[in-house]
């Protein structure tokens, strides 16, 4: 996987941890490509947590309305911006326990920010691709992201926690699709339990 995806990382475009936090919240159930289309103008208009916190909620909603669930996401972004501006003096927290206290931030989002924004391996990103591939190749039998993350943390050395999930994400998008996976193009097909069951 490392040879196939040597530069595996988030597909979101950002400058600094705060922009990554906002972009990651916007990316939930929305493609990175869609998020990357709106964030340049968004971050040009609002350059800091302070500016997001002072912006009218309606204006933030209008700026992000092309993403799914934009109402909830805009509300979360405004609220967490207010907290970061006041409680953390405008600096995005770099600890898991502090990030997950922010509105709209669960472990997946926190892990993206920690790994890609700070270079910290406190956990492993588990999105829909990581979940699907972890089950198919037998790294986890669990169904919830939290339990899958724990299984992966046990299975992988810590130095792989940052890169490995993003390699899985790229492989999931390109080859190991949810429907009609391209098993004939898969570099790890010999490790796959899904192939044994489906004969794809």
Q: What is the pLDDT of residue 45?
A: 98
Assess contact for 151 and 144: CB atoms under 8 A.
no
pLDDT reading at 57 higher than 80: yes
* Helices marked H in the chain: 17-27, 32-45, 49-54, 57-64, 70-87, 96-99, 107-112, 128-136, 145-155, 163-174, 193-198
Band (pLDDT 50/70/90 cuts) for residue 46 is very high
What pLDDT score does 180 carry?
92
Q: pLDDT tens digit string along 87-98?
A: 999 999 999 999
Cβ neighbour number for residue 165 with a 10 Å cutoff:
28
Domain residue ranges in the chain: 17-117, 128-198
Residue 34 binned pLDDT confidence (cut-offs 50, 70, 90): very high
Q: Is the pLDDT of residue 197 over 70?
A: no
Flag whether pLDDT at 195 surpasses 80.
Answer: no
Q: What is the pLDDT of residues 136-149, one digit of tens each?
A: 999 999 999 999 99
How far apart CA 182 and CA 176 sit, in angstroms, is 6
pLDDT band at 199 (very low <50, low <70, confident <90, very high): low
Return the CATH number of the domain spanning residue range 17-117. 1.10.340.30
pLDDT per position as a tens digit, 154-190: 999 999 999 999 999 999 999 999 999 999 999 999 9
Rounded to whole angstroms, the Cα distance separating 185 from 177 reads 12
Q: Please tell me the distance from the alpha carbon of residue 119 to that of residue 83, in angstroms, as a whole number.
A: 23
96-107 pLDDT per residue, tens: 999 999 999 999
CATH fold, domain 128-198, is Endonuclease Iii, domain 2 (1.10.1670)
Provide the annotated active-site residues.
Answer: 108, 127
Q: What is the spatial distance between Cα 158 and Cα 38, in angstroms, rounded to a whole number?
A: 34
Contact 32, 26 (CB under 8 A): no
Query: Could you tell me if 169 and 183 are in contact, meaning their C-beta atoms sit under 8 angstroms apart?
Result: no
């Amino acid at each position: 996987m490392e040879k196939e995806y040597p530069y595996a990382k988030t597909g979101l475009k950002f400058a600094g941890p705060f922009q990554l936090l906002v972009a990651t919240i916007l990316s939930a159930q929305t493609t990175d490509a869609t998020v990357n289309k709106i964030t340049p103008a968004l971050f040009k208009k609002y350059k800091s947590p302070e500016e997001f916190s002072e912006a009218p909620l309606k204006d933030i909603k209008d700026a992000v309305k092309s993403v799914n669930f934009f109402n909830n996401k805009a509300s979360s972004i405004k609220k967490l911006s207010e907290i970061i501006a006041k409680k953390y003096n405008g600096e995005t927290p770099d600890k898991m326990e502090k990030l997950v206290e922010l509105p709209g931030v669960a472990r997946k989002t926190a892990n993206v920010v920690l790994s890609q924004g700070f270079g910290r391996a406190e956990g492993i990103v588990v999105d829909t691709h990581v979940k699907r591939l972890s089950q198919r190749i037998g790294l986890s039998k669990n169904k919830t992201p939290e339990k899958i993350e724990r299984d992966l943390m046990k299975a992988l050395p810590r130095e792989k926690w940052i890169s490995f999930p993003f390699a899985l994400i790229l492989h999931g998008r390109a080859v190991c699709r949810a429907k009609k996976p391209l098993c004939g193009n898969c570099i790890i097909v010999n490790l796959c339990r899904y192939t044994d069951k489906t004969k794809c």
